[in-house]
Amino acid sequence: MRLIELRLENLRNISSLELQLDPRINLFIGSNGAGKTSILEGAYLLSHAQSFRSGQINALIGRGAEHFSVFARVERHAGPVQIGLTRAAGSWSAKVNNDDASSLGRMLREYAQVCFEPGTHALISGGSEERRRFLDWGAFHVEPEFMARVRAFRRALLQRNTLLKQGCRDLELDWWDKEVARAGESLSTSRSDYFHRYSPALIEAMACYLPELGEASTRYSQGWPEDMSLEQALKETRGSDQARGFTSRGPHRTDWGIQFALAPQREHLSRGQEKLCALACVLAQARCFADSRGEWPVIALDDLSSELDVAHQGIVVDTLSSCGAQILISAIDIPACIRAAGVPARVFHVEHGKVRTLL
């Protein structure tokens, strides 16, 4: 999968920008605050409809503007496609080949990008919500019905939680327990299937980037006890759920993780090792996508030089170059690993939201 052309309008400090990208390595250099990360972020929006940085999505709209928009031409095995995304008045509009997309999800299926950036370590050190979101993106791209299953579960869960808050009768809850269980077990099966595809790639990546920690293993929790159905789990906790006013078991409590023979607890990892774990998670997801779809997603590496030491920078770039993935890298200057290896790259200098091509 390749980004051939990327256009941004009113995205943070970028008022208008059009780029022709190299099919292999694209390097965006410049001082802090120049707009390098915003370029990677713009491409990421076309794959996730959310930023990898914290904050409200409407905060991405440039000062004084009423909307931002992102457009791209993409080459894929399935054929070229043009996609566009606009955010205005608190809502999205999406286009595929200049036609309005039937849904946001319809557009998001056309392009895939993963990203390693300073906040990615939350996959290791953060809460379960971040890990579920990460897992769901992977499942979305390998199972066509996945988002329909997510929506069905969310609707049922919302209704049950509303009834719990209202103190409704057990008879009504009996019916919604069945609906939550039906939708929840379907969603959970999709997630579990994806995780079992993803897990071998993750273990292999950990062996590459953190061999000093010994053999890695994964864990997966579906969100309720493995020895009972979801409906049974909901009935067992109904009293406490009524007291709290929300559902305490189900796929909205799914979590996963990884541990090492020589570092069985997350607290045993240094900050640098957490970063390498998070990097391995992202690259394993890219590998899993490639194995499922027959092509690599676009891979963004934000602030590469400050997030990884030179040795690991080199491993990442060499690995991704050899597999043929397109890479978008941001850094203050050309990373040492690229200088040393003489890896061909298209270099863009970014300053005050404007870009000029250097190489």
CA torsion sign for 34, 273, 279, 347 is positive
| Model pTM above 0.85 | yes
In whole angstroms, give the CA distance from residue 9 to residue 16: 5
CA distance 328 to 346: 10
pLDDT of residue 170: 83
- Rounded to whole angstroms, how far apart are CA atoms 268 and 273? 9
pLDDT of 96: 97
> Could you tell me whether strands 346-351 and 327-331 are parallel, antiparallel, or unpaired per DSSP bridges?
unpaired
pLDDT of res. 232:
98
Q: Are 245 and 192 in contact (CB under 8 A)?
A: no
Residue indicated by tokens 């990677």:
40
Specify the CATH class of 1-112+298-359 in words.
Answer: alpha beta
CB 327 within 8 A of CB 24: yes
Stretches in the chain below the pLDDT threshold 50 = none
Helix residue spans in 141-245 (DSSP H) = 146-166, 170-209, 230-236, 238-244
What is the residue extent of each domain of the chain?
Answer: 1-112+298-359
* Distance in angstroms (rounded) separating the CA atoms of residues 270 and 105: 38
Give the pLDDT of residue 341.
65
Taking the C-alpha atoms of residue 206 and residue 197, their distance in angstroms, rounded to an integer, is 15
Overall size of the chain counted in residues:
359
pLDDT of the residue at 54: 80
Q: Give me the pLDDT at residue 22, please.
A: 95
pLDDT of the residue at 62: 94
Rounded Cα–Cα distance for residues 47 and 147 (Å): 14
* DSSP secondary structure letter of residue 262: T
The residues near 10 (Cβ < 8 Å, ≥ 6 apart) are 16, 61, 62, 65, 67, 68, 69
pLDDT at 336: 82
**Across all residues in the chain, what is the average pLDDT?**
94
Q: What is the pLDDT of residue 64?
A: 93
Segment (H or E) for 26: strand 25-29
Residue 301: half-sphere exposure toward Cβ, Cα within 13 Å: 28
The amino acid at 23: P
